[in-house]
Amino acid sequence: QVQLVESGGGLVQAGGSLRLSCTASGRTASTYLMGWFRQAPGKAREFVGFLWASNSYTYYTDSVKGRFTISRDSAKNTVYLQMNNLKPEDTAVYYCAARLGDGVVTTAQYYAYWGHGTQVTVSS
């Protein structure tokens, strides 16, 4: 099993940047496909992007392409979500998630492990 803890959320103005961290414990994060999701008030949890375990391939939802980047620091057992040019519609609680097995996995139900989330608020 793996335990996930997110950090780095906060309040930022539109156009600003934040970097979220997801630190894993229990097992090596590089063993897992690591995903990021977000959930805004009153809305369903939404896929943001993922990073494959095998070759660090990344994939993003259209609304964040070119603005968000997922990366991994294996030495720190941490995955990052770098968010640039933030928009008010990016406001949400952001969750990292993990699953064994790479693939184009954009549905939350297929991720077995979840962090508790970190709040990101973007003011206009």
Nearest to 67 by CA among 12, 116, 109: 12
pLDDT tens, 19-33?
999 999 887 878 899
Work out the average pLDDT over 67-92.
97
How long a stretch of residues is the chain?
124
pLDDT tens, 32-70?
999 999 999 999 999 999 999 999 999 999 999 999 999
C-beta atoms surrounding 114 within 10 Å: 17
pLDDT of the residue at 89: 97
pLDDT of the residue at 29: 77
pLDDT of the residue at 118: 98
